[in-house]
Chain A
Amino acid sequence: MARSRDLPLDTDGSTRFLPWLVALMVYLAALTIAGGAALHDAVDSWNAGLAGTLTVELPRGATGAPVPQDRIDAVLAQLGQIPGIAAATRLDASVEKRLLAPWLGQDVDVSVLPLPVLIDVQTRPGVALDPDTLAQRLAIAAPGTRVESHGAWLSRLFRIAGLVQVGAAAIVGIIGFVAVLTVVFTTRTGLAIHAPVVQLVHLIGASDTYVARQFQWHAFRLGLGGGGIGLVMALVSYGALRWTAGQGLLPGEVGLLPSFHLPLLGWIAILALPLAMGLVGLVTARRTVLRTLGRMP
Chain B
Amino acid sequence: MVRFENVGMRYGSGPEVLHDIELDLEPGGFFFLTGPSGAGKSTLLKLMYLAERPTRGRISLFDRDVAALTRAQLPALRRRVGVVFQEFRLIEHLSALDNVALPLRIAGQEEARVRDHVVDLLKWVGLADHVHALPRELSGGQQQRLAIARAVISQPSLLIADEPTGNVDDAIALRLLYLFEELNRRGTTVVIATHNQALIDRFGHPVLHIEGGRLERRPGRRAVI
> Known contacts being A6-B102, A201-B102, A202-B78, is A207 close to B93, with CB within 8 Å?
no
Q: Which of under 10, 10 to 19, 20 to 34, or 35 or more describes the interface residues of A?
A: 20 to 34
Q: Which residues of B contact A205 (CB under 8 A)?
A: 75-76, 78-79, 103, 106-107
Chain B CB within 10 Å, residue with most, of A3, A199, A203, A210: A203
Nearest CB to that of B80 among chain A residues?
Answer: A205
- Given A1-B105, A2-B108, 5 extra CB contacts under 8 A: A2-B105, A6-B91, A203-B49, A203-B51, A204-B79
B101 → chain A closest CB, angstroms = 9
Q: Which residues of B contact A200 (CB under 8 A)?
A: 89, 91
Contact of A203 among B72, B76, B78, B91 (CB under 8 A): B78
Q: Is the CB of A204 within 8 A of B78?
A: yes
17 example contacts (A-B, Cβ-Cβ < 8 A) are as follows A5-B94, A5-B98, A6-B94, A8-B92, A8-B93, A11-B93, A201-B106, A202-B74, A202-B75, A202-B78, A203-B49, A205-B76, A205-B78, A205-B103, A207-B75, A208-B72, A297-B53
B113 within 8 A of A: no
Q: Is the CB of A197 within 8 A of B91?
A: yes
Seen from chain B, the residues whose Cβ lies within 8 Å of a Cβ on chain A are: 49-51, 53, 71-72, 74-76, 78-79, 83, 89, 91-94, 98, 102-103, 105-108, 111, 150
Nearest CB to that of A205 among chain B residues?
Answer: B79
A198 → chain B closest CB, angstroms = 11
Q: Is the CB of A204 within 8 A of B106?
A: yes
Nearest CB to that of B106 among chain A residues?
Answer: A206
A194 → chain B closest CB, angstroms = 10
**Could you tell me which residues of chain A, from 183 to 219, have a CB within 8 Å of some CB in chain B?**
196-197, 199-208, 210
Q: Which residues of A contact B111 (CB under 8 A)?
A: 1
Q: Which residues of A contact B102 (CB under 8 A)?
A: 6, 201, 204
Contact of A208 among B49, B71, B103 (CB under 8 A): B71
A83 within 8 A of B: no
Nearest CB to that of A294 among chain B residues?
Answer: B71
A196 to B51, CA, bound (A): 12
**Could you tell me which residues of chain A, from 1 to 18, have a CB within 8 Å of some CB in chain B?**
1-3, 5-6, 8, 11
Nearest CB to that of B105 among chain A residues?
Answer: A3
Q: Which residues of B contact A6 (CB under 8 A)?
A: 91, 94, 102, 105
B48 → chain A closest CB, angstroms = 11
Chain A CB within 10 Å, residue with most, of B51, B72, B106: B106
Q: Which residues of B contact A201 (CB under 8 A)?
A: 102, 106
